[in-house]
Structure 1
Amino acid sequence: MTTLQRLTLTPLAFALAAAVSGQTLADTQHNGPTFSGNVTGGVLDVSDRDLDLWAFRAEAGVGGIYTVNPSLRIRYDLVADFANAINSVDEQTWTPGAHRQDDGEIYIRTARVLLLTDFGSFGFQPRVPSGFWGQIYNNIDVFEYNRFHAQTGQNAIFGQAEQGSDVLSYGTPRFGGFQFIGAVLTTNAQNDQDFDVYTGRLIYNQGPLNFGIGHTQVRRPGIDNLHRTSFGIGYDFGMVQLGGVYEHNDDRENSGAASDFDAWGVNVSANLSDAWSVSLGYAENNRNLDLDNDAWVGIVRHHFNDKVYGFLEAAHYDRTDNNVAAGLSVSF
């Protein structure tokens, strides 16, 4: 075991030992399993491509929590994404879970176990949606199809991925709305390096204000030393919500590469009534090699209740294909 591995696992061993002392597994209480999911389907029209029926989301999963004692809870989640198996993905389109364009396969979107203790949360997550994306970019990630993250094919504006794999994480307890989360990821199991990605973020979320700042160091094939710094902020005025994010990607091996760029986005959303809501967003990057791009996106939603809504979304890109999407979303 390396020194880094010892430093990573020793706090976990201490916290777990303290939490379970005097408690047997037979005393645990199980809240679950709870089943949930979402199906969002409709029509996608991308410029220079045939109109297509599309599964924007199609996922179902199970989760629950074992309470060992007041100091230790064990949470589990397993979620499968079926959109990739439903859609016919090409280089003009993308599907959740299909960032490697391996269409036709059911994608395991979430497979994780979390230890929730008085000393913080410890995550063992072979597959999981990126908390970095979800907590820093969330104020602009409000659309059904045009989501801008690094795994959206030609729609990608930002360098940050939305899906992570092989994630070992730790989150501190919350202090006055603040929380720090650190994680390491193993994205390549054959490069003689246990951890390929190091990331940390400081999050604040209390009342109408939320913001987060984070830094990530990435090593992957073709990129040996990429540093990404991100800052996101949002404020909820009640009827209107404002959000923004800025991302700086520093490829310290090659500043002229496509991976070295800045990107930013802003969004305004409004609840017009209990039944109607709208959002308008703008995002751009300044990628090298004539790969820069910008986009305007707007969406109108009609909410039948808190589980069902219909939507109409349209996006205009400077360099890549425009699109229009319409459909219905049902959660259960």
Structure 2
Amino acid sequence: MTTATRLALAPLTLSLAVTFSGAVVANDHHAGPNFSGTLTGGVLNVQDRDADLWAFKAEAGLGGVYTVNDGLRIRYDLVADFANAINSVDEQTWTPGGHRQDDGEIYMRTARVLLMTDYGTIGLQPRVPSGFWGHIYRNVDVFEYNRFHGQTGQNAIFGQAEQGSDVFSYGSPRFGGFQFIGAVLTTNAQNDQDFDVVTGRLVYDQGPLNFGVGHTQVRRPGIDDLHRTSFGIGYDFGMIQLGGVYEHNDDRENNESPADFDAWGVNVSASLSDAWSVSLGYAENDKNLELDNDALVGTIRRHFNHNVYAFLEAGRYDRTDNNVAAGLSVSF
């Protein structure tokens, strides 16, 4: 079965799983389905490229939770991303999902079922945002367009991807703010290897402090033994939030390859008032073959309420194209 076929079947698989779950627990409590979405749109001006109206984020979906009994809940989520279908993506730009070959198509961002028990959570996730990225890199991932992850095209600073597919995961119960999460991913169904990515992380999130450390082993075309270790930390002082992340990529077959590098980033955000906030971040990597890069990004937001804000953002890169972005974000 090809990757395209598997992705096309992913929503159907989720639908059948939820339907089956619903048949089993039809007489029990169901919170949902709850509908939600975000549209962040405006203007993107990339160096040496015409300014363009741009969908920085365009998501809509539904989710809910079945409570079977005191020891088992079943959560489901199905979210579509429309940015690829809206934007005109080229080598100087990127769109959430990072799959340029799907330019013009609706991208299924989330399709998952979670079995939540007293002993932890099992995730069956054909498509899902990366929990590894979300837990460890979140304190520097605070910008609208300049997000640094491995799927941001020419301006990618880190190797870690923001989106995952074919994910089987386990998350332990929380103990004093600590949680362990492990996962395996099958990103290539045609290479005679069931698990292409094996990853685990320990995270802490309690009060103003959060941090996480994780390790990932990746096998992908051209790289059979890539190891990635990441550490992220953040602290909320109230008005000021500080964050940082460090990533080490070790290509154990070829330490001269572009996949063997270190990267790091720091960020400071400030809530100036209920209406205004600002963020300033810096990140860099030391890739081989003169592919190293660094970035300085700043954004200012005008908040109208919790669901609506306007923003102005600028990113300056050492080797790749600078950009300016402005727009409005509405969530529901």
Per the normalisation by structure 1, the TM-score is 0.92
Q: Deviations over 1:147-198 (max 9, x none)?
A: 0000000110000000000000000000000000000000000111111100
Aligned to 1:159: 159
Preserved CA contact (<8 Å) 1:99 1:153: no
How far apart, CA to CA, are the structure 2 residues paired with 1:276 and 1:295? 24
Distance in 2, matches of 1:26 and 1:142, equals: 40
The amino acid of 1:163's aligned partner reads Q
Q: Note if 1:276 corresponds to 2:250.
A: no
Between the aligned partners of 1:329 and 1:101, the Cα distance in structure 2 is 26
Q: Is the 8 A contact 2:98 2:153 kept in 1?
A: no
**Residue 209 (structure 2) pairs with residue 212 (structure 1):** no
- State the superposition RMSD in angstroms: 1.0
The one-letter amino acid paired with 1:119 is Y
For residues 205-251 of structure 1, give each alpha carbon's deviation from its aligned partner in whole angstroms, at most 9, with x where no partner exists. Answer: 00000000000000010110000000000000000000000000000
Give the aligned partner of residue 257 of structure 1. 257
The SS at the match of 1:85 is: helix
Aligned residues: 310
Alignment TM-score, normalising by the size of structure 2: 0.92
8 A contact 2:256–2:288 mirrored in 1: yes
Moved segments of 4+, more than 2 Å: 24-27, 98-102
Measured in 2, the distance between the counterparts of 1:194 and 1:187 equals 9
Cα distance per residue 1:91-137 (max 9 Å; x no partner):
00000023344210000000000000001000000000000000000
2:330 partner letter: V
- Residue identity opposite 2:191 in structure 1: N
| 2:288 partner letter | N
Distance in 2 separating the partners of 1:306 and 1:187: 36
After TM superposition, list the pairs within 5 Å mapping 1:40-79 onto structure 2: 40-79=40-79
- Corresponding residue for 1:330? 330
Residue of structure 2 equivalent to 1:221: 221
Q: Which moved more, 1:197-206 or 1:100-109?
A: 100-109
Distance 1:192 1:223 in 2: 15
Equivalent residue number for residue 129 of structure 1: 129
Tell whether the 8 Å contact from 1:90 to 1:101 is kept in structure 2 after alignment.
no
Question: In structure 1, what residue type is equivalent to 2:278?
Answer: V
CA contact (8 A) 1:89 1:101 kept: no
For 2:321 and 2:312, locate their aligned partners in 1 and report how far apart those are by CA, in whole Å: 17
Aligned residue in 2 for 1:5:
none
Give the SS at the match of 2:102: coil
User: Residue 184 of structure 1 contacts residue 199 of structure 1 at CA under 8 Å; is this kept in 2?
Assistant: yes
Q: Which residue of 2 aligns with 1:290?
A: 290
Identity, in percent, stands at: 82
1:149 aligns with 149
Give the conservation status (yes or no) of the 8 Å contact 2:89–2:100.
Answer: no
Q: Partners of 2:302 and 2:99 in 1: how far apart?
A: 29
Distance 1:224 1:253 in 2: 8
Q: Shift in Å at residue 70 of structure 1? A: 1.0
Letter in 2 for 1:179: Q
Determine the structure 2 residue equivalent to 1:32. Answer: 32
Contact 1:211–1:232 (CA under 8 A) maintained in structure 2: yes
Residue in 2 aligned with 1:12?
none
Query: Equivalent residue for 2:102?
Result: 102
Q: Post-superposition shift, 1:26?
A: 4.0
The one-letter amino acid paired with 1:285 is: N
Partner residue, 1:232: 232
Question: For the Cα contact (< 8 Å) 1:63–1:77, is it kept in 2?
Answer: yes
